[in-house]
Amino acid sequence: MASAAGQTIALIELGGGYRAADKSLGIAAPTVVAVPVNGGKNSPSTADGADGEVMLDIEVAAAVAPRAKIAVYFAPNTDQGFVDAITTATHDTKNKPTVISISWGAPESSWTAQARSALDTACKAAAALGITVTVAAGDNGSADGVGDGANHVDFPASSPNVLACGGTKLVAANNTITSEVVWNESASNEGATGGGISTAFAQPSWQAGIAATKSGRGVPDVSGDADPTTGYQILVDGQTMVIGGTSAVAPLWAGLIALANAKNKSAAGLLQPKLYGAKGRKPSAISPQATTEHSKPQ
């Protein structure tokens, strides 16, 4: 069985919490530690609040990467709290995460240039130290829920220093995948993956071969099952429920990267140059339509 022993996955959380009792889904319980940032703390409340986000992140990452340590960085739901949580995880010499997963975000246009720059700089610092940052691309289609008739991408997924994680609709039968297509169920009010072209960040060099991204950084880079109708069974505050969204895809990819790091005995860091440079069919940078509906920190 694949193991991520020796790896730590960092989860950035801006609210909610987890309960140690929520650990009986038929798999070995992971080692989970809470790391307070700027007065933030593990503060579980109810299953229909931010606890669902926290437990989704923990349980998906731990299920994909058995024996990995999960460090949850709880910070205030503010721009500064967001930045400091990433910075704290990046320079945590005790837990030493090699992957940071972020399921929080908001339309790129709703951020001030100053806040966007500060958060991007924090992600860039993580990448420079060999830490891969995975970020949910959004759950509200190509408009990202803005409602102005224009297209918008989600940030921090649009940062060129993170791995933007989009969503698919995956159908399986008898333990075999029978279909996997882009998650685009807006017509039935069941969400759609975020995706499009950034208006804040230029086209990165590793997307140079993609004509559609000439005007800016293309989102997402990778994808995974996100449709709530084909989602993830998790345990939250004693309740079993199924949750979807691209916020499940960020910890999914974080877990996969932790497994690879354990096997390779080295941290992957910024993956995009290798992903986009791989021979064969290039990964799609654009999803036709478009984080767990969490809003930008206010």
Range with lowest mean pLDDT among 16-30, 139-153, 189-203: 16-30
pLDDT top residue among 241 and 92: 92
Question: How many structural domains are present in the chain?
Answer: 1
Residue 56 resides in a domain: yes
Task: Write down the pLDDT at residue 48.
Answer: 83
CB 71 within 8 A of CB 8: yes
Task: Give the CATH number, domain containing residue 208.
Answer: 3.40.50.200
Kindly state whether residue 284 falls inside one of the protein's structural domains. Answer: no
Which one is catalytic: 51, 57, 108, 139? 57
Asked whether residue 298 is domain-assigned, the answer is no
Q: What's the pLDDT band for 26 if we cut at 50, 70, 90?
A: low
Strands 232-236 and 239-243 turn out to be antiparallel
**Does some domain include residue 287?**
no
Judge whether residue 290 has pLDDT over 50.
Answer: no
Whether a cis peptide bond, with omega within 30° of 0, leads into 156 is yes
Domain carrying residue 57? 8-277
Q: pLDDT (tens digit, 9 = 90+) per residue, 178-226?
A: 999 999 998 888 899 999 999 999 999 999 989 999 999 999 999 999 9
Residue 247 is a catalytic residue: yes
**H or E stretch at 132:** strand 132-136
For all residues of the chain together, what is the average pLDDT? Answer: 90
- Whether 101 is catalytic: no
Q: Is residue 221 part of a domain?
A: yes
Per-residue model confidence (pLDDT) at position 278: 85
Whether 131 is covered by a domain: the verdict is yes
The pLDDT value recorded for residue 23 is: 63
In a domain, 288, yes or no: no
> Which one from 101, 159, 223, 247 is the annotated catalytic residue?
247
When computed from its CA atoms, the radius of gyration of the chain, rounded to whole angstroms, is 17
Mean pLDDT of 155-172: 96
Whole-angstrom distance, CA of residue 94 vs CA of residue 166: 31
Dihedral sign for Cα atoms in the order 28, 33, 297, 124: negative
Answer yes or no: 109 catalytic: no
The answer for residues whose C-beta is within 8 angstroms of residue 266's C-beta and 6 or more apart is: 130
Name the active-site residue from 13, 53, 108, 120: 53
Residues 59-73 have pLDDT tens digits of: 999 999 999 999 999
Q: What is the mean pLDDT of residues 78-102?
A: 98
Q: Which of 187, 83, 165 is nearest to 126 (CA)?
A: 83
DSSP state of 114: H
pLDDT band at 289 (very low <50, low <70, confident <90, very high): very low
Cα-based distances in Å from 88 to 52, 92, 162, 200, 235? 23, 6, 17, 25, 28
CA–CA gap between residue 99 and residue 38 (Å, rounded): 21
Residue 287 is predicted with a pLDDT of 32
Per the domain annotation, does 292 fall within a domain? no
